[in-house]
Amino acid sequence: MNIQSMEPSTVGAGRTPTPPLLEKNRSGKHMDNEQMPTKMSAKGLDVFYNGKQALFGVDLDIPEQAVTALIGPSGCGKSTFLRCLNRMNDTIDGCDVKGDVTIDGQNIYDRELDVVELRARIGMVFQKPNPFPKSIYENVAYGPRIHGLSDDRQELDEIVQTSLDRAGWMNLAPAFLAASSNGSASPALSRSARKLS
Ligand SMILES: Nc1ncnc2c1ncn2[C@@H]1O[C@H](COP(=O)(O)OP(=O)(O)O)[C@@H](O)[C@H]1O
Ligand SMILES: [Mg+2]
């Protein structure tokens, strides 16, 4: 993919407006996304699969607190580019990445960098969900648990409920209840799930 050379009408990096609160700077004036500080940046990014080049010198700045969209036909390199942002291409045999990617100015391809910590920081939501072979409850609670954010059942119930609610999943309450931790949700969670079903 060569983002620079693609026709803007068919392929390009587009940005949707951020909510008004995020668009305001300290003086309360609205800011354009273009004015947002750069969070991540790719410079001269080339990617090869077994020697065959898939990305050609991609330069792209990603501003903070804004949504940046990559749009293009199947096979143009969107997933390849996204995988460069948290070094997931490292896990693909025969995949070779050249160029720079930085987050807050730090090169994520630095040999000293802790890749596990990087991937915990730069998450991905995949096109096709691939949950762990655990209950829905345990899948949602997994992140907060392994990051030590909470180990308290009541607090986890709240996190799970809020997360499912925000994702519009609480209307699937019966399935959620059936799949909650050890087969039964706490009474508070059961009540709110029933209310929403
Ligand atoms: N694991 C892989 N091994 C070999 N070639 C790959 C691999 N993944 C992607 N490619 C090739 O890289 C190019 C870009 O693919 P991809 O990043 O998946 O595009 P998109 O996400 O835009 O559909 C395509 O030519 C694809 O065949
Ligand atoms: Mg893809």
Assess whether pLDDT exceeds 90 at residue 54.
Answer: yes
Top mean-pLDDT range of 49-53, 65-69, 152-156? 49-53
Which residues have CB atoms below 5 A from the ion given as ligand 2? Answer: 79
**Domains of the chain listed by start with CATH number:** 3-121 (3.40.50), 136-196 (no CATH)
CB of 172 shorter than 6 A to ligand 1? no
CB of 79 shorter than 6 A to ligand 1? yes
pTM over 0.75: no
Token representation of residue 11 = 């392929």
Band (pLDDT 50/70/90 cuts) for residue 11 is very low
Q: How far is CA 14 from CA 9, 99, 117, 144, in A?
A: 11, 22, 29, 32
| Range in 43-57, 87-101, 131-145 with the lowest mean pLDDT | 131-145
State the average pLDDT for the chain: 78
pLDDT in tens, 111-158: 999 999 999 889 888 878 788 898 888 888 998 998 888 888 999 999
